[in-house]
C-alpha cells in the first residue's frame, strides 16, 4: 500500500520533471539524464516506469490532457441552456489556462510539434466529446452557426492558448485580458 503510493509518487515526479524541462528548453532539452536529476532519481530508474523517452512523453501528454479535460467539464450542469453550459466550460478552460500555467504551456507546445504520436493526440481529443455534443445541440436549436467543430474550437477555445502564452511571457500586462469581454468575443464568433 505504502509501497504502491511511493511508486506512484516517483512516476509522478518523473512526469512533472519532464514537464518542467520541456517547458524550459523544449523536448530536446528534456534529456533522460536531466529528467532523472530533477526527479532525484537515477537515469536507469526511469526505465522501470517508462519504456523509453517516447513513451514518457506520450504518457505525460495524455496525463496532462486528461487533467485539462477533467477541469473543463468540472461542475457542469447539463440541464442549463446551451449558452450557459458553454459559458461554464469556457470559463473552466480559462481557469485552467491561466492558473495551471505549466500544464497549459506544455499542452500548447504539444499542439504543433511532430514529437507527440498522432495516435496519442487522437486519444487526447476524445476527451472533449461532451463539448462537441453541446455544439451539435446548439446547432440543432439554431443558436450556433452550422460550422465544423474544428472551426468552432479554433475560434472559441484555441485563442486562449495564445493569450495564456502572451500573458505568461509577460508580453502584455496581466490586466490586459478581461475574461468577460474575451468570452463575448468567443461567443460572438460562433453564435447565429
Partner DNA sequence: CGAATAAAAAAGAACGTTCATTCTTTTTTA
Partner DNA sequence: TAAAAAAGAATGAACGTTCTTTTTTATTCG
Binding site for DNA (CB under 7 A): 2-3, 6-7, 10, 28, 30-34, 40-48, 52-54
The answer to whether the beta carbons of residues 158 and 107 sit under 8 Å apart is: no
Q: Report d(CA 146, CA 80) in Å as an integer.
A: 21
Give the helix ranges, DSSP H, for 112-178.
118-126, 129-140, 149-156, 158-168
94 binds, among DNA, a second copy, none (CB under 5 to 8 A by kind): none
Residues 6+ apart with CB under 8 A from 120: 58, 61, 62
Q: What grid cell was written down for 117?
A: 504520436
Over its C-alpha atoms, the chain yields an Rg (Å, rounded) of: 19
Closest separation in Å from C-beta 124 to DNA = 21
Closest separation in Å from C-beta 37 to DNA = 9
Closest separation in Å from C-beta 4 to DNA = 8
Q: Decide: helix, strand or coil at residue 144.
A: strand
Q: Residue 166 interacts with a second copy (CB under 8 A)? A: yes
Q: Draw the binding track, 98-137, toward a second copy (x: CB under 8 A; -: no contact).
A: -------x--xx-xxxxx--x-------------------
* Binders of a second copy in range 138-157 (CB under 8 A): 145, 147-148, 150-151, 153-155
The answer to whether the beta carbons of residues 140 and 132 sit under 8 Å apart is: no
Q: Draw the binding track, 18-47, toward a second copy (x: CB under 8 A; -: no contact).
A: -----xxxxxxx------------------
Closer residue to a second copy in complex, CB, 11/190: 190
Amino acid at each position: 500500500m505504502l509501497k504502491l503510493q511511493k511508486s506512484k509518487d516517483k512516476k509522478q515526479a518523473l512526469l512533472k520533471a519532464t514537464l518542467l524541462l520541456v517547458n524550459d528548453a523544449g523536448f530536446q532539452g528534456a534529456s533522460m539524464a536531466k529528467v532523472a536529476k530533477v526527479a532525484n532519481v537515477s537515469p536507469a530508474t526511469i526505465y522501470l516506469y517508462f519504456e523509453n523517452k517516447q513513451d514518457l512523453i506520450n504518457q505525460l501528454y495524455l496525463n496532462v490532457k486528461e487533467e485539462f479535460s477533467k477541469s473543463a467539464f468540472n461542475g457542469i450542469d447539463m440541464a442549463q441552456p446551451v449558452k450557459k453550459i458553454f459559458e461554464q466550460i469556457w470559463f473552466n478552460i480559462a481557469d485552467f489556462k491561466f492558473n495551471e500555467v505549466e500544464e497549459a504551456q506544455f499542452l500548447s507546445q504539444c499542439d504543433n510539434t511532430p514529437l507527440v504520436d498522432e495516435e496519442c493526440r487522437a486519444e487526447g481529443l476524445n476527451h472533449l466529446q461532451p463539448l462537441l455534443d453541446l455544439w451539435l445541440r446548439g446547432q440543432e436549436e439554431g443558436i450556433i452557426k452550422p460550422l465544423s467543430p474544428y472551426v468552432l474550437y479554433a475560434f472559441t477555445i484555441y485563442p486562449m492558448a495564445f493569450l495564456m502564452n502572451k500573458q505568461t511571457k509577460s508580453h502584455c500586462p496581466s490586466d490586459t485580458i478581461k475574461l468577460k469581454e474575451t468570452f463575448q468575443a468567443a461567443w460572438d464568433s460562433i453564435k447565429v
